[in-house]
Amino acid sequence: TGGAVPPSKRGTILEDYIHECDWYATFASIAAVDVFDKKAHDAGLPPVDGVDHSALLLGAGKPGSGKRSEIHHSVRALTVGKWKLITGGMMDNFPKHSMGGSFIPYSGWRPGWGMDAVINTMTYKNCGHGCLFDIKADPNEHKELSSTHPEIVQKLKARLNELNQGV
């Protein structure tokens, strides 16, 4: 029946970006709880890094009115609009190199069992140059588009570098 989903939202698709860090601020707003944490503030910690999307979820906000226009996935990946840029991965594998490396592990597109699973595990893609995907037209990221849209790659790389300042 849709449960708590407003009747006007049932059966619709919301294409606005909501990042995992936004859920706390969104649920706090729905529950009428302030996200400000005095103890954290007094300890010098940064404020909650989340955007309140309650209007979108509860029906007051129109599709496309979301407050997030980009998702900074990691120091090596960024989504802005329909474009996703990946410049590498494996940040967790090299503790002394927080920026990771150029290669993306597990880059195979085979079914996940038997020899196909082994091939997927052993497949690496070099995205040091910047792998670009149109996630609206290709949500599974099969078609790499950096060679046909170099201006988008450069623009997203510049934004990623800006976001990574101080990392």
pLDDT band at residue 126 under the 50/70/90 scheme = confident
pLDDT band at residue 163 under the 50/70/90 scheme = very high
More confident: 52 or 12: 52
The CA-based diameter of the chain, rounded to the nearest angstrom, is 54
Global confidence as pTM: 0.73
The whole-angstrom separation of Cα 84 and Cα 78 is 6
- Residues written for the chain: 167
- Name the CA radius of gyration of the chain, rounded: 19
pLDDT band at residue 121 under the 50/70/90 scheme = low
Residue 93 pLDDT exceeds 80: no
CA angle 80/142/63 to nearest 5° reads 35
The whole-angstrom separation of Cα 119 and Cα 105 is 11
Token representation of residue 53: 């999307």
- Going by the DSSP 8-state scheme, the letter that residue 73 receives in this structure is E
What is the dihedral angle through the alpha carbons of 90, 95, 96, 101, rounded to the nearest 10 degrees? Answer: 0
Classify residue 87 as exposed, middle or buried by CB count within 10 Å of its CB (0-12, 13-18, 19+).
buried
The whole-angstrom separation of Cα 136 and Cα 134 is 6
pLDDT band at residue 78 under the 50/70/90 scheme = very high
Residue 71 near residue 19, CB atoms below 8 Å: yes
Residue 19 pLDDT exceeds 70: yes
User: Residue 16 has what pLDDT?
Assistant: 87
User: Residue 111 has what pLDDT?
Assistant: 65
